Amino acid sequence: MDDLLRLLPAYRPTMDRVSLAIHGRPEIRFEERHAVAELTRWLAGEGFAVGTPAGGLETAFVARHQGSRPGPTVAVLMEYDALPGLGHGCGHNLIAAGGALAAILAARADPDHPGTLLAVGTPAEEGGGGKIHLLEAGVFDGVDAALMFHPADRGLVARHALAAAHLGISFHGRAAHAAKNPEDGRSALAAVQLFFAAVDMMRQFVPATARLHGIVTNGGAAPNVVPALAEATFYVRDTTAGGVADLIARVTDAANGAALATGCKADIVETAPQYAGRVHNLTMAYRCAGYLRELGIDLEPPSPANPAGSSDVGNLSHTVPVIHPYLQIAERDTPGHSEPMRDAAAAPEAHDRTALMAVALAHTALDALSDPAFLSDVQAEFRSAREPADD
């Protein structure tokens, strides 16, 4: 720990600069070219061999630090996409810069470590499933453990996550003049309105764990034109993949019913790979939390009472032991995906805490690389873990 802390002052200014550069120029999923340039320039300058693009994704990369002898492969993960219209209301700028710092500190503290240390840039967490694409492309083949963190309104060792499907729903009607001959039209907007009403009527009769939410992305072009096309984006979530599949079927029926009632046609497609629920590796998570506690930051234990979202890291966690602790950067109950959280992600206090999280992640990564007994425990827990069964 002391070696890592001694290194920190030399790298902290660059971490802050990279984080604020990403925060100040937000880029949505699969368009994160500026963020990738900032991160890969920094990692390459610190001796990592950078490969980009990676896994067939333009804004993904793998930066590699090869050790002096054979050993395991450990990956530190970075996210850097922003939310449309909001910017970094999820604090991915901190995940990016903090993750890069963690990898650099680990490589600098023990340049002769065994095995391979990877810093993996994973785009499009916000609805694009970047990690799933990379997983399917083989980017994580041979990885023995993966580490990342996430900013939040509270500090948590681990947090459960929901499985999620991303639906694009298009209604096709028939255009007409809304005043002269409305009887000739079939309003796709009316179909969207009826669809949302149907989903609202459904809410009482879905599991308490389910989440159904969406927005209208296209409701027509002019008030005096009956819309021939209307579109919505919808997320369907539940604790298991089976629960999500059941809900997709019901939402699809609602869309088709709304289309039938309004004389329209509905098209429903999944716009991204489905996100899986998360399998936590608590052996590794509590090791990281212990290091963070030594640095003066306590994390709460996992609790089902904590609200949950979804992430593509869930899919990876079924293939590789993963940790995803949460670091408090804002007052408790500050909403995620909000302007207050976005502002907190640029604050000096958030960067102070991110730097300490980077130290804890670096130490945990070095343990996984250098301590066979620890890695054996990590992998034993991973093998015994099971996704919660469907009810």
Distances (CA, A) of 278 to 47, 61, 132, 164, 325: 33, 23, 13, 11, 12
pLDDT at 308: 87
Query: Does the bond joining 53 to the residue before it have cis omega, within 30 degrees of 0?
Result: yes
Residue 135 token pair: 């997983």
Residue 346 token pair: 């640029």
The amino acid at 95: I
Distances (CA, A) of 374 to 70, 110, 288, 294, 366: 17, 17, 12, 19, 11
pLDDT at 389: 38
State pLDDT tens for residues 21-42.
999 999 999 999 999 999 999 9
> How many whole angstroms separate alpha carbon 91 and alpha carbon 178?
45
pLDDT at 388: 47
Residues of the chain falling short of pLDDT 70: 386-391
Length of the chain equals: 391
**So what's the architecture of 163-270 in CATH?**
2-Layer Sandwich (3.30)
> How many whole angstroms separate alpha carbon 1 and alpha carbon 261?
65
> How many whole angstroms separate alpha carbon 330 and alpha carbon 34?
26
> For the chain, how are helix, strand and coil distributed in percent, rounded to 5?
40, 20, 35
Measuring CA to CA, which residue among 126, 118, 116, 99 is closest to residue 38?
99
The amino acid at 255: A
> How many whole angstroms separate alpha carbon 285 and alpha carbon 281?
6
Strand-pair category, 265-270 with 163-172: antiparallel
pLDDT at 200: 97
Q: What is the spatial order of strands in the sheet that 211-218 belongs to?
A: 211-218, 229-238, 163-172, 265-270
- The dihedral region occupied by 223, where left means phi > 0, alpha psi between -120 and 50, and beta the remainder, is alpha
The amino acid at 114: P
pLDDT at 306: 86
> How many whole angstroms separate alpha carbon 254 and alpha carbon 256?
6
Residue 344 token pair: 């907190």
> How many whole angstroms separate alpha carbon 360 and alpha carbon 383?
24
Distances (CA, A) of 257 to 253, 260, 319: 6, 5, 39
What CATH number belongs to 2-161+276-384? 3.40.630.10
> How many whole angstroms separate alpha carbon 276 and alpha carbon 307?
16
> How many whole angstroms separate alpha carbon 308 and alpha carbon 323?
16
Domain boundaries, the chain: 2-161+276-384, 163-270
Four-CA torsion 161, 104, 38, 158, nearest 10 degrees:
10
Strand-pair category, 145-147 with 163-172: unpaired
pLDDT at 387: 46
Strand-pair category, 114-121 with 61-66: antiparallel
> How many whole angstroms separate alpha carbon 101 and alpha carbon 19?
11
Measuring CA to CA, which residue among 1, 3, 118, 14 is closest to residue 351?
14
pLDDT at 386: 55
Q: Could you tell me the pTM of the whole model?
A: 0.93
Neighbours of 270 (CB within 10 A): 12
- Inter-residue contact 130 to 29 (CB < 8 Å): yes
Helix (H, G, I), strand (E, B) or coil at 322: strand
- Enumerate the H helices of the chain as residue ranges: 2-24, 33-45, 92-109, 130-136, 188-202, 241-262, 282-294, 313-317, 339-344, 348-370, 372-384
> How many whole angstroms separate alpha carbon 11 and alpha carbon 30?
28
